[in-house]
Chains A and B, each alone.
Chain A
């Protein structure tokens, strides 16, 4: 019996590929399996090949596999494009309708998916037939789909629910007749533990609400839009507001206005939007306004690969704004981290009164994964240094409140409009403690140093998480959603007796120099794994002075996330 397997469904975009994948994944997640999914899609609504790959396992993996065990094909193109990765003796289930052909190394089950669906009531139920067929091969009872089908179709009436369940059953029986109940593909039963199942963007939205975010101006862009769409539905319940703006420049500036007004405010975008936001991020830095910007990275430059994986905004996030400001950049790697890091992001933004960029990547943002319970009690709201009654000036206020008071920490008291005795000025021009413009060299130095002091010497705790052998010969450094692929590769290498460590970076600004140095320790070789063409993380390491005589890069910029085998092969070659 299998402890894990990879299942894939392929077809034309818009013909139910996503809903088939989703139903399959959700049903298995509810059985207590760990599920990790991957969506291959393109920037069009109807047509074009798309596929959903779902990895099911008894222990958690956060990576897709290179091979596929079972491929479900709605058209010949799906076979042609994906059969190469179906393992020797693997299964292809295909619709009889297109007279499917498959190479010899796989076992082909031709099932009249469309015909059976029509007999059950409607051709669109072919995805249900295909789920039944899949269940038969994997030795799963069809009732695992009952709950999901019931939830999805309840509103349409019991008849539709019954028809869909019948379609699943007929698919199951048809494959059974063909001899498709194969013991070697049967999945070991899971323990039934209920866990969450969501994508990074869901976790970001939930994390934002929990963290007290209440204003989100944003402009739609793949792969960030779900955050805004999710918050539009949630905010009314808590008195928050999402504003769909005319562009990203408006979005970030509106967030700055809302944050100045006293709300926890954020926006979410991807690379093109991040580029447009740069001037305003400087305004937030200069005016010491806390805002949170989520950058869900996708393939760049320009419109680039809008629906594909990449991690190529690191340098832009750090250096994109003209002039110099203190800023924080966080890099979650899992859905759980997306949730908790939104809380961290707002707390850090308000503690240090500066912009915070939370960077995900497309694979983390859009791919659903089994998620451990999210503990609300771990989300604490700390609004930082707010002026107390005693700090405020007596009436009548004859001078301005020192919003930019020079302090040892560089952090000054914040006050919101509507407060008596707190009137001050805010400006992107260099200014005095009162916020009044002042361009003298003396004041410039005082205020620049005050701002820079806020983050001087700071490293955010747990910016680097180190796993694997403490005395590793090779340390693999990674970021973002590649966490699972690296972990899996390292585990395989260790099982072969090689000494391998994994250092994952969860914040790149302030750059965790000391944490990285400690993570590298006395390793002979360092490999930096990242989804871009120029080795941005590696450049940052040398820029910030992390020194090592043997640092190598493993780069992937073809639009796909890393596969464990790619990392495994490369590291093996380093020994």
Chain B
């Protein structure tokens, strides 16, 4: 049976606000999987909590909607148990760079094969627009009425410093570019971080589509050295593309045996070992 885009849809209509950047991300995931020929039953889309986290509800493959900030541990559990399944984790910037940021560093280090798509809108959309970890300094919201005093999280630098093997960045306003980016990320044999500027049209009035159209910079090839990557990020605050790519073996031994095999020879040996 030939696959078509319909196979990756499930007829459940998204409840996102009209114009929300997350629509594009959903479409991109569906297209990239179709173009890669990965059947919907062979992929799990794992999502966090937030507007962005609802993405798994609208997806035609397997989907798991977790708790706030825990998308990466759940996704890694699936990846560890099922090396035969494509795992895509997805969530918001609050989910991934705020409450769940500790898991990001370790998922990067562990390098289990999965793709992590962060819909970065610089606000907590779902809880009505509070300041998020990627809101710029000076950003005003109900939780920073006098302007955000904190330095924002720099997710790409964070991932790089933890030893990332794949770092990409895209924009909801450029679907074609994002599909290509995602295809590369899903094909990457380790952990791939894809940060996507995905505007919240309701709450974030500064970082809207027009802002990103003005600010993004298309980087054609990944940086060849750490110095080049840092230089790129200093020069262009909003670069798009595969920005960093290395190969480092993923965590060893993902093969998990069947649960029904009691390994009696091993057991007997181990029991002998406890003869005291």
B65 adjacent to chain A (CB < 8 Å): yes
Instruction: Verify if A413 is at the interface (C-beta below 8 Å from B).
Output: no
Please tell me which stretch of B81-89, B127-135, B167-175, B241-249 contacts chain A, meaning at least 4 of its Cβ atoms lie within 8 angstroms of it: B81-89
B88: min CB distance to chain A, Å: 12
Q: How far is A35 from B82 in the complex, measured between Cα atoms in Å?
A: 43
Count, chain A residues at interface, CB 8 A: 81
| Contacts A217-B73, A381-B259, A425-B56 supplied; 17 other A-B pairs, CB < 8 Å | A29-B276, A195-B275, A209-B263, A215-B81, A237-B263, A238-B261, A238-B263, A246-B106, A250-B70, A253-B67, A257-B79, A264-B259, A283-B70, A376-B267, A417-B41, A418-B42, A426-B63
A426 touches B259 (CB 8 A): no
* Complex contact A423–B81 (CB within 8 A): no
Q: Is the CB of B41 within 8 A of A418?
A: yes
Residues A206 and B271 in contact in the complex (CB < 8 Å), given A253-B66, A261-B85: yes
Say yes or no: A376-B262 contact (C-beta < 8 A), given A210-B267, A400-B10. Answer: yes
CA distance A133 to B43 in the complex (A): 66
Interface residues, chain B, with chain A CB atoms under 8 Å away? 1, 7, 10, 12, 39-44, 46, 54, 56-57, 60-67, 70, 72-82, 84-85, 102-103, 105-106, 110, 251, 253-264, 266-268, 270-271, 274-276
- Assess whether A255 is interfacial by the CB under 8 Å rule: yes
| Chain B residues in 8 Å Cβ range of A260 | 64, 74, 77-78
> Are B80 and A428 in contact (CB-based, < 8 A)?
no
Q: Is the CB of B275 within 8 A of A258?
A: no
Q: How far is the CA of A198 from the CA of B274 in the complex (A)?
A: 6
CB–CB B81/A261 < 8 A:
yes
A263 interface residue per 8 A CB criterion: yes
Q: Which chain B residues border A261 with CB–CB below 8 Å?
A: 44, 77-78, 80-82, 85
B271, A425: Cβ atoms closer than 8 Å: no
Assess the B266–A234 pair: CB atoms within 8 A: yes
Partner of A258, one of B78, B260, B264, B276: B78
Name, among B80, B82, B105, the residue most crowded by chain A CB atoms within 10 Å (CB to CB): B80
- Find chain B residues with CB under 8 A from A240 CB: 256-257
Instruction: Find A253's partner among B65, B74, B84, B274 (CB 8 Å cutoff).
Output: B74
Minimum distance in angstroms from A340 CB to a CB of chain B: 13
Could you tell me the distance in whole angstroms from the C-beta of B108 to the nearest C-beta in chain A? 11
- Given the complex, which residues of B lie within 8 Å of A29, measured CB to CB? 276
A247 to B73 CA separation, bound complex (whole angstroms): 10
Q: Is A409 an interface residue (CB 8 A)?
A: no
Q: Are B102 and A247 in contact (CB under 8 A)?
A: yes
CB neighbours of B67 from chain A (8 A): 253, 279-280, 283, 428
Smallest beta-carbon distance B79→chain A, Å: 8
